[in-house]
Amino acid sequence: MRNVINLANNFTRLGEGPHWDDTNQRLLFVDIFESKIHRWDYATKSFAKPIVLLDPTVGAVVPREKGGLVAAASHRYVSVDEESGQIRTLATVTENVKCRFNDGKCDPRGRFWAGTMGLEDVPAQPIPKQGELFSLGTDLSISKHLTEIDISNGLSWTSDSSRMFYTDTLKLNVRCFKYDVDTGAISEPQVVVTFDKEKHALPDGHCIDSDGNLWVAMFGLGGILKVDTTKGEIVDQIKISDSALRTTSCCFGGPNLDELFVTSARYSQSDLDSGIPLGESGSLFKVTGLGARGLPAVQFKG
């Protein structure tokens, strides 16, 4: 039986980028506009003190194989020493002040992929075509893969590393690319699934299970859509909360990789002023009983 558990109510202003750290049995995720890295321990069910970056935003975080963390913050990749709090720039990807990093994760070889998006005064209404998709190589080199993106979001790779799934939110679809795992090159884009904005809201971050299905967080739906990538069909809908409609991303975690962790965004002050209650918006959720397992997340290997 499915069960949705609220692990931290109204916890983040804009929660994003959940990553299951299998080595340490913990969940990493960010609060974009508070520029915080959060760490939730599975055994103790408690949070470590958040790491606050000097950058105005942080879009994604992953563990580093040699120790510490790597984050995609504002316009740069940074290393984070968890003990000392020292932050060091690894690479700057752009000087475009009209954009910021939003979401990212590592590919099967340990490159850190992350994309940018235009700045926004209203959620999901950014300055258009400001975003780009980058990867940070294990040699700390930067590669640019896509341009003219509105809102860079979900990234997932198949278990055989042959395909990469990617979402530019305002295109209302998930695209699949042929993936060269040796070089990190993408080619032959094809639309896997298209969403109905009125019915499904906006596709945000996603993850992939061991059967190759995508689990897509829908911003405005308060839920997750399961997509059969071989058929290009929505095959299931998981309701998270009627009062946390801005679900932003998800990942499988837990000791057996069979629990789905879901981030969300709090309602804005303008929403609250217009009478929308805070509810469970901005909460961190966990869903059990889905009958699916994820793939182990990859650390940055540079």
Residues marked as catalytic? 204
Beta-ladder partners of 101: 116
What distance in Å separates the CA atoms of residue 272 and residue 276, rounded to the nearest whole number?
A: 5
Between the alpha carbon of residue 110 and those of residues 64, 259, 293, the distances in Å are: 9, 23, 21
What distance in Å separates the CA atoms of residue 201 and residue 247, rounded to the nearest whole number?
A: 10
Between the alpha carbon of residue 290 and those of residues 1, 3, 189, 205, the distances in Å are: 8, 9, 30, 18
Reading the block at residue 229, the tokens are 């990538």
Q: Residue 103: left (phi > 0), alpha (psi -120 to 50), or beta?
A: left
Which residues are CB-contacts of 200 (< 8 A; sequence separation ≥ 6)? 218, 221, 225, 234
Closest listed residue to residue 138, CA positions, set 64, 206, 222, 192: 64
Beta-ladder partners of 297: none
